[in-house]
Amino acid sequence: MLTSTFQHIKGIGYKTELELWNRDILTWKQCIAAISRQRAPFEAPFSISILYDSIKAYEKGDIAFFAKDLPKSEFYRIALEFPEEVLFLDIETTGLSLYYDQITLVGWSIGKQYGVYINGQDDTMLRSVLSRAKVIVTFNGIMFDLKFIDKHFGSPTIPPVHLDLRYFAKRVGLSGGQKKIERKTGFKRQSDIEDMLGEVAPILWHRYRKGDQDALRRLIEYNHADIEGMKWILDICIRRYFRKNNIPVKVQRSPAFTGMTSNFSISPGVTVRVSGQR
């Protein structure tokens, strides 16, 4: 869908982009051809060079080029274009205070892979996925997760596109916390953690620090469920956004993040499958 996007171009907003699509000008190359033939539905308020620049940036995978000027409400398009390079991330902490509390673990999923960083252990893999992902997806990450990440890891490299589901969901009429939205939209967690609240996470961490390995397992299970729930919510939000904004089917790309269910490993050679179900 990114190649059908024009809103990163100065002077092009939602209405003009929709007008282009309705006239079957669906890509940058088609727009170039239309302008060249002087049949564009508008007097182009931009240099045609920006269209060529867009093509070059896309071919190089330069996502920062688009993120710089594309409205944040449209960041989902970049995620749809590069689904295997979208990083879902969720942290657990000892509390809510950025000043007094600390990260206990960071869970993430990219593609069908799930990984977890546990405080005090090696963070090489986490830093690697952060640096290579094109998009990062969180729930309330602007106000919470990324602030803790920045403090704990000393301003690590973060993907140029951040899609915060808390705000994206509000745009399509879904408000409240992640679990409330999951329940409202039909996402089901495994029964043994279905009613588990975030307040339990610090307790599990303290039990683990006292030697309770099962507490760590449950904490990771809980984190993994949050990650899979975010995939579900993103798919739901994109479909709702399409309907709300009358995005033509001919430029849509079907969301499929829910189908990219991940596994998690607690120790070498032991893999447990945990996934949300409809």
User: In this predicted structure, what is the pLDDT of residue 144?
Assistant: 96
Q: What is the pLDDT along the chain (278 residues), one digit of tens a residue?
A: 999 999 999 989 999 999 999 999 999 999 998 888 765 555 666 678 999 999 999 999 999 999 999 999 999 999 999 999 999 999 999 999 999 999 999 999 999 999 999 999 999 999 999 999 999 999 999 999 999 999 999 989 999 999 999 999 999 999 999 999 999 999 887 756 666 676 789 999 999 999 998 899 999 999 999 999 999 999 999 999 999 999 999 999 999 999 999 876 554 433 334 433 33
The pLDDT, as a whole number, for residue 71 is: 95
User: What is the rounded end-to-end Cα distance, in angstroms, of the chain?
Assistant: 26
pLDDT at residue 200 in the model:
85
Of 255, 240, 226, the C-alpha closest to 175 is 240
List 105's β-bridge partners, or say none.
Answer: 92, 118
Asked whether the beta carbons of 218 and 193 are under 8 A apart, the reply is yes
Residue pair 98/151 in contact by the 8 Å Cβ criterion: yes
Burial (CB < 10 A; 0-12, 13-18, 19+), residue 40, is: middle
pLDDT at 42: 57
Backbone angle region of 38, left / alpha / beta, with phi > 0 → left and psi within -120 to 50 → alpha = left
Q: Give pLDDT, residue 173.
A: 96
* Residue 69 neighbours by CB under 8 Å, 6+ apart: 8, 9, 10
Q: What is the pLDDT of residue 149?
A: 97
pTM of the entire structure? 0.90
Write down all domains in the chain, each with its CATH number in brackets: 2-68 (no CATH), 80-273 (3.30.420.10)
Residue 3's CB is within 10 A of a number of other CB atoms, namely 16
